Amino acid sequence: MKRKIIAIYNFYVDGFKNMTWGRQLWWLILLKAVLLFLVLRLFFFKPILAGKSDEQKIEYVSTELLTR
């Protein structure tokens, strides 16, 4: 089992070392993922409970749980 894990690890390490366009593509993929996360976070998932007291948070959550 340990040999298989080491062989798989070495396979991927050698593959990444020998890449020509792959490195730039991986950076592009990571950049797009980060930007997508930031855009979604800013525009669609706003913190509803920010700036509220604990009692207001409890009230909001209980109301949402009961109405849904």
Percent above pLDDT 90 for the chain: 54
Buried b / exposed e over 32-66, threshold 16 CB at 10 Å, is eeeeeeeeeeeeeeeeeeeeeeeeeeeeeeeeeee
pTM above 0.85? no
Q: Is the pLDDT of residue 68 over 80?
A: no
Task: With a cut of 80, say whether residue 53 has pLDDT above it.
Answer: yes
Q: What is the pLDDT of residues 11-37, one digit of tens each?
A: 988 888 888 888 888 899 999 999 999
Question: Given this model, what pLDDT does residue 6 score?
Answer: 96
